[in-house]
Structure 1
Amino acid sequence: MTLKDHILARIAAEGPMRLDDYMSTCLLHPTLGYYTSQTPFGQSGDFVTAPEISQMFGELIGLALAQAWLDQGAPNPFTLAELGPGRGTLMADLLRAARQVPGFLDAAEVILIEASPALQSVQQETLNPHPVRWLDSIADLPEQPLFLIANEFFDALPIRQFQRAGPNWRERNIGTEGGTLTMGLGPAQPCPGLSFRLDDTKDGDLVETCPAAGPIAEQIASCIAARGGAALIVDYGDWRSLGDTLQAVQNHESVDPLSSPGLADLTAHVDFEALAMAASGCAYSRVTAQGVFLERLGITQRAQQLAGALSGSALENHIAAHRRLTHPAEMGNLFKVMALFPKGGTPPPGLDP
């Protein structure tokens, strides 16, 4: 049985499926889900994340977190954590760059929040011989200062979509028609959690919510508020959700999100306002375009330094990687960065309060 067959059977038995349920099933089904059955990362997978494009990304993230650690008095010990660490590439680059900061690696306990045994194995190989610990949840983090990176983590969390209908909202769901999965709308009804969006939307407008994102942001903020630290959240999205941003990627190409359940990656843009509001125990930085953030951290100077040892196609690829990470027409504007940090403190380098 394919995952599509499984979903069709569920809808036939139970009725239309909520979008967040559909996403969870597509991504996390124990045997047929995307993250359990496919190879998502890298050139041989379905998409390439910033750390896979260039070592510069992870290096600058590492130095930004190390400076934030210094600004808070260089606490020892502390937790250096990553949510959804993929193949471990970002953490490997981060650790290599952070070796330049005396005491940072000695004080750091590296923890990866990763539930997939297959990915844990890849991460262990990437990060060997550096000692690493894996946890399933932020709630299990040790009680010490937390310096955390979440790159393209929140975009993979399942979303719900609501279409404005006067003072009410109609939720989009997944149904079937002739053996094909289709999008439909539920009945119009009040949605108290979206009452504040009645001021900036009109009939027919679509708003997305992410039920899992708020509690995770709240847990991160709680750790930082209680014990110090900082979190860098890097993802595509903007300050406030508006419009349909659900997308599917297969073999580096966009496909219909309903066409290949379990065979394509599903993501949606991140609502940074919702994360900031959930992280009420902390201060948060201004949301900043990734290109601006990386330029402030010195990516062009680092690119020039690395270019000195390159020639031919390697140099061309290096120049293209710098452009892809920073140019407004590529990832530079689409991706945003926001930091969480203690109230009364200063954000990590590259970001404004």
Structure 2
Amino acid sequence: MLRKLLFQQASTARRLLSAQSTAPLLNKCSVCSYSSSSQSEIPQTNSIEQIEDQPTKTISIDRSGLYNPSEHSHEPSSDSELVKHLKGIIKFRGGPISVAEYMEEVLTNPKAGFYINRDVFGAEGDFITSPEVSQMFGEMVGVWAMCLWEQMGQPKRVNLVELGPGRGTLMADLLRGASKFKHFTQSLHIHMVECSPALQKLQRQSLQCMDEDNTSEGVEKRITSTLAGTPVSWHAALEQVPSGLPTIIIAHEFYDALPIHQFQRASHGWCEKMIDVTEDSLFRFVLSPQPTPATLYLMKRCKWAVPDEIKKLNQIEVCPKAMDLTHTLSKRISADGGGALIIDYGLNGVVSDSLQAIRKHKFVDLLDNPGTADLSAYVDFACIRHSAEEASDDVSVHGPITQSQFLGSLGINFRVEALLQNSTDEQAESLRTGYWRLVGDGEAPFWEGPDEQVPIGMGTRYMAMAIVNKKQGIPVPF
């Protein structure tokens, strides 16, 4: 789930948030009025008290495994460098920071960010992603990419981009599965958008990369994956990937780690939820007494929503970087051709309270020992659709459909049957377990092992969406 937080949030001056600019939306999405009053405090817990007595729509997240940290766990005896850094930012500004700023520092701080200097994936890490569950996931994504390539007219040169490639497992499985289709693999130049040096090293190993000998001065050394003889390049941001060629973009569990802003309804409108430090040097949640720059994105999201969606909510999450990223990749697809595949867990509508922290496969408090747990939030697929359609009239958006529908339509059922024919008993059990986790719903009915190890299906929790150039028609399997 490594994600490079690609795009800087628009630094809009607060004067743009005057009463005149917000007036047209006040009936649908009122924001906090300017005030010189002190920050409104929120109890120091994962959930926040409702200010108004009205029904609330929340995301269904199983927090039954929530770990309750010991008393005063927010204040370690010796603050980590990241904790000191966060407190320093708050002190320097003389006020709280947004949840989005907190997320960005916790996940991608160059020195102490959660993703930067270690491998957080797999059973020994903090969470397991679909590519780590089974090779079939990467193979099916490869089928989708090949189908799109054929719809594009089988161009001789294509940029295949993966955002936040983790260990490189998905791309490695994709190349292995496609290695027999030489015309496809020979057209590819792989571009890995990755900011972590530690994970870049793992990706080179997964793709079995080698440096080609080049004695010419001033010529950049070429790196090739021996899995399919495909050139590979690494970039810190999507903007660094060369344009001008048809581009296929894969964003698997990338959007969910982009920093979100949280808003809570108050008696005078929507107020942004912020993070401050108490007199006892503990992190706490507070509410901004006046509009913040992110309020512009809240108002845009409210305009896209069905009115009844907003009326039922006391909290809303918006992700400006998801909107900006979608706008950027849609513009590229419009200009160069190609498409993007987005697979993540989320909703096809406004997201309320979904932000969560996971450490060693357990839910923990969001403010507990920042930098030691992964932070992620549900993806608002409806917002992605609106952002893409706003960016260009030359792209079409398809989905979302469930991951189970997506993989099933691409042929994962036939693939698992083929693999089972030549597998050992141990391999067969692993295949069945992996298959269920990818396409199943809930606990596996065939499981006979320990209850605490029962495979949980992700087939309906995860969703797939495609953004493609209209010239290529409707992508498989949408």
For the superposition of Structure 1 and Structure 2, which TM-score range results when normalised by the shorter chain?
over 0.9
Q: Equivalent residues in 2 for 1:244-259 (5 A)?
A: 244-259=353-368
1:112 matched to 2:214: no
Kindly state the Cα deviation for residue 270 of structure 1 after the two structures are TM-superposed. 0.8
1:4 matched to 2:83: yes
Kindly state the Cα deviation for residue 350 of structure 1 after the two structures are TM-superposed. 1.9
**Residues 139/8 of structure 1: CA separation in 2 closer, same or farther (3 Å cut):** closer
Kindly state the Cα deviation for residue 167 of structure 1 after the two structures are TM-superposed. 7.1
Kindly state the Cα deviation for residue 70 of structure 1 after the two structures are TM-superposed. 0.6
Distance 2:281 2:459 in 1: 41
**Residues 242/162 of structure 1: CA separation in 2 closer, same or farther (3 Å cut):** same
**Amino acid corresponding to residue 133 of structure 1 in structure 2:** S
Kindly state the Cα deviation for residue 313 of structure 1 after the two structures are TM-superposed. 3.2
**Residues 205/145 of structure 1: CA separation in 2 closer, same or farther (3 Å cut):** same
Distance 1:247 1:349 in 2: 33
**Residues 203/53 of structure 1: CA separation in 2 closer, same or farther (3 Å cut):** closer
Q: Equivalent residues in 2 for 1:277-288 (5 A)?
A: 277-280=386-389, 281=392, 282-288=395-401
Which residue of the other structure, out of 177, 193, 196, is the alignment partner of 2:300?
Answer: 193
Distance 2:387 2:112 in 1: 33
- Indicate if the aligned counterparts of 2:403 and 2:438 stay in contact, CA closer than 8 A: yes
Which residue of the other structure, out of 403, 411, 417, is the alignment partner of 1:304?
Answer: 417
Which residue of the other structure, out of 313, 320, 323, is the alignment partner of 2:433?
Answer: 320
2:403 alignment partner in structure 1 = 290
3-state secondary structure, aligned to 1:34: coil
Kindly state the Cα deviation for residue 139 of structure 1 after the two structures are TM-superposed. 1.8
Distance 1:62 1:134 in 2: 20
**Amino acid corresponding to residue 222 of structure 1 in structure 2:** K
Q: Equivalent residues in 2 for 1:200-349 (5 A)?
A: 200-202=309-311, 205-280=314-389, 281=392, 282-329=395-442, 330-349=457-476
Distance 1:167 1:99 in 2: 60
3-state secondary structure, aligned to 2:472: coil
Structure 2 residues not aligned, in runs of 5+: 1-78, 210-224, 226-230, 443-456
Kindly state the Cα deviation for residue 211 of structure 1 after the two structures are TM-superposed. 1.4
3-state secondary structure, aligned to 1:221: helix
The runs of at least 4 aligned residues of structure 1 exceeding 4 Å deviation read 188-191
Distance 2:258 2:361 in 1: 20
Distance 1:302 1:240 in 2: 33
3-state secondary structure, aligned to 1:36: coil
**Amino acid corresponding to residue 54 of structure 1 in structure 2:** S
**Amino acid corresponding to residue 237 of structure 1 in structure 2:** G
- Indicate if the aligned counterparts of 2:351 and 2:378 stay in contact, CA closer than 8 A: no
**Amino acid corresponding to residue 303 of structure 1 in structure 2:** V
- Indicate if the aligned counterparts of 2:397 and 2:467 stay in contact, CA closer than 8 A: yes
**Amino acid corresponding to residue 416 of structure 2 in structure 1:** A
User: Which has the bigger relative contact order, CA under 8 A and spacing at least 6?
Assistant: 2
Q: Equivalent residues in 2 for 1:33-72 (5 A)?
A: 33-72=113-152
Kindly state the Cα deviation for residue 195 of structure 1 after the two structures are TM-superposed. 4.0
Structure 1 residues not aligned, in runs of 5+: none
**Amino acid corresponding to residue 160 of structure 1 in structure 2:** H
1:184 alignment partner in structure 2 = 286
Distance 1:7 1:276 in 2: 34
Greater percentage in helix: 1
Q: Which has the larger radius of gyration?
A: 2
1:132 matched to 2:227: no
**Amino acid corresponding to residue 171 of structure 1 in structure 2:** E
Kindly state the Cα deviation for residue 344 of structure 1 after the two structures are TM-superposed. 4.6
**Residues 134/166 of structure 1: CA separation in 2 closer, same or farther (3 Å cut):** same
3-state secondary structure, aligned to 2:116: helix
**Residues 167/202 of structure 1: CA separation in 2 closer, same or farther (3 Å cut):** farther
Distance 2:181 2:196 in 1: 31
1:141 alignment partner in structure 2 = 241
**Amino acid corresponding to residue 421 of structure 2 in structure 1:** G
**Residues 198/176 of structure 1: CA separation in 2 closer, same or farther (3 Å cut):** farther
- Indicate if the aligned counterparts of 1:68 and 1:347 stay in contact, CA closer than 8 A: no
- Indicate if the aligned counterparts of 1:340 and 1:347 stay in contact, CA closer than 8 A: no
TM-score (norm 2): 0.70
1:163 alignment partner in structure 2 = 264
Kindly state the Cα deviation for residue 82 of structure 1 after the two structures are TM-superposed. 0.5
3-state secondary structure, aligned to 1:222: helix
Q: Which stretch has the larger CA shift, 310-319 or 155-164?
A: 310-319
Distance 2:268 2:276 in 1: 25
- Indicate if the aligned counterparts of 2:131 and 2:169 stay in contact, CA closer than 8 A: yes
**Amino acid corresponding to residue 458 of structure 2 in structure 1:** M
TM-score (norm 1): 0.94
Kindly state the Cα deviation for residue 116 of structure 1 after the two structures are TM-superposed. 1.8
Distance 1:219 1:160 in 2: 20
Q: Which stretch has the larger CA shift, 215-224 or 143-152?
A: 215-224
2:6 alignment partner in structure 1 = none
2:203 alignment partner in structure 1 = 123
Kindly state the Cα deviation for residue 194 of structure 1 after the two structures are TM-superposed. 4.3
- Indicate if the aligned counterparts of 1:167 and 1:198 stay in contact, CA closer than 8 A: no
